Amino acid sequence: MRLGYFTMPLHPMGRNCTETLQEERQAIILADKLGFYDAFVGEHLTEITENIVCSMLFLATLVSDTKNIKLATGTSNISQWHPAMLASHAAMFDHLAKGRFIFGISPGILRCDAEALGILDEDRNKLFADAIDVILEIWKREQPYDIDLPNNRYKVTTRTTRRLEIGRGHLYKPYQNPHPEIVGTVVAPYSKGVIAMGRRDFHPLSANFLMSKWLPTHWANYEQGKKEVGKVADRNDWRIARTIFVADNDKVAESYGCTDANSPYRYYWRLLLTKMISAGRHAAFKLNESDPDSILTEEYLTDKLVLRGTVNKVVDQILALREETGDFGELVYAGMDWVDPALTKRSMELMATEVMPRVNAAIAREGKPARAA
């Protein structure tokens, strides 16, 4: 099982963005040194608490400061970009990173971002679907492209203005052939979007926002999409994100990871609960669809959704998660605000050097994959 990293990010409103941007950089540089496989970075245009407005631009600052970790948009909000622009940006980034790039994609759900861009009344799922189709065509075709897909708003050509003798009229092709790994984030239980991912060989990343009970619904739908195109789904392609805190003693783990009023984990779920309720997406937080909204409090979410404890306790929780979901290829560790930098770094160190080796040793001792949930 691989170990990955994800940051939204999510910081208190009063923090200086210059400081938090550097904090996020340091987390990924540390993850690289510790052997994390990849790092996903989110983006939002109008959220002061999530202050990375372009994940690809942010990740570009890390290419020369990291050696092995794959740098992943987590996600690029496709509906907010013209596909020719985003295809070119992603392809150039892939060259800068010499293939250490994963193209994480989503429609972009934040209504305030859409309003700022003048697309509030647009169908952003349709914009997303149109744009990703065109991006893949750009990477597949040669100039002059002449992309005019049925029922697609985006038309891309350089036919009338190209000048081949001076190299004009070409769009970037990625470093990786035919293109970087494409990953989509999945939040809702029984998500239909993950069926489409299976059809297109995009890989699912199940978000840390939902109860583990719902995770098997993502895999079932991904398998369905694969079957529809005559392919077999590979569980190694499935990533699951979880909120995790590892400490050297149980008291610190429980306090910093859950109960203390200043815990970054409590802040995270307090703010995220407000955001998800306002977006009408809070069903992911419930154990049963019929549960009333009143049960959803920061205390409830922090207790249920933070894996926390000393090394052996967190190992046990991860193995229990795997028994519940069936096998999966990567556990993605969700980053938090650095209220206590020493505890934050120590948790990442313990996760990489103690927890994951023990998890993988336990899996190896089984001699067989976990049951298919």
Q: Are 317 and 307 in contact (CB under 8 A)?
A: yes
Please state which CATH class domain 2-247+307-366 belongs to: alpha beta
- The pLDDT tens digits of the residues spanning 70-117 come to 999 999 999 999 999 999 999 999 999 999 999 999 999 899 999 999
CA pair distance 11, 79, nearest whole angstrom? 25
Q: What DSSP designation does 283 have?
A: G
The pLDDT value recorded for residue 144 is 98
Of the candidates 44, 42, 14, the one whose C-alpha atom is nearest the C-alpha of residue 28 is 42
* pTM above threshold 0.95: yes
**Rounded distance between C-alpha atoms, residue 90 and residue 135, angstroms:** 10
What stretches of 201-326 adopt beta strand conformation (E)?
203-206, 239-246, 306-309
- Measured between alpha carbons, how far is 118 from 110 in angstroms, rounded to an integer? 13
Alpha-carbon torsion, ordered 162, 165, 170, 174, to 10 deg: 180
Cα angle: 179, vertex 1, 56; to 5 degrees: 35
The CA distances from residue 233 to 218, 223, 261, 370, in Å, are: 12, 5, 43, 15
Q: What is the predicted pLDDT for the residue at 370? A: 52
CA nearest 355: which of 338, 324, 327, 333? Answer: 333
Rounded to whole angstroms, what are the CA distances from 163 to 18, 168, 235?
Answer: 43, 5, 46
Q: Which helix (H) or strand (E) holds 186?
A: strand 181-186
pLDDT at site 289: 84
Intervals of the chain under pLDDT 50: 373
Alpha helices by DSSP H, 109-181: 111-116, 124-140
Burial class (CB in 10 A: 0-12, 13-18, 19+), 358: middle
Across the chain, what does the average pLDDT equal?
96
pLDDT of residue 280: 86
Beta-bridged to residue 147, according to DSSP, are: 156
C-alpha span between 314 and 337 (Å, rounded): 20
pLDDT of 279: 86
Q: What share of the chain is helix, strand, coil (3-state, %, to 5)?
A: 45, 15, 40
Residue bearing tokens 């081949």:
164
Per residue in 141-168, is it b (16+ CB within 10 Å) or e — as a string?
A: eeebbebeeeebebebebeeebeeeeee
Distance (Å, rounded) from C-alpha 3 to C-alpha 17? Answer: 27
Q: Which tokens go with 50?
A: 């999530």
pLDDT tens digits, one per residue of 21-63: 999 999 999 999 999 999 999 999 999 999 999 999 999 999 9
Three-state secondary structure call for residue 85 = helix
Place of tokens 């894996």: 307
- For 230, other C-beta atoms within 10 Å of its C-beta total 6
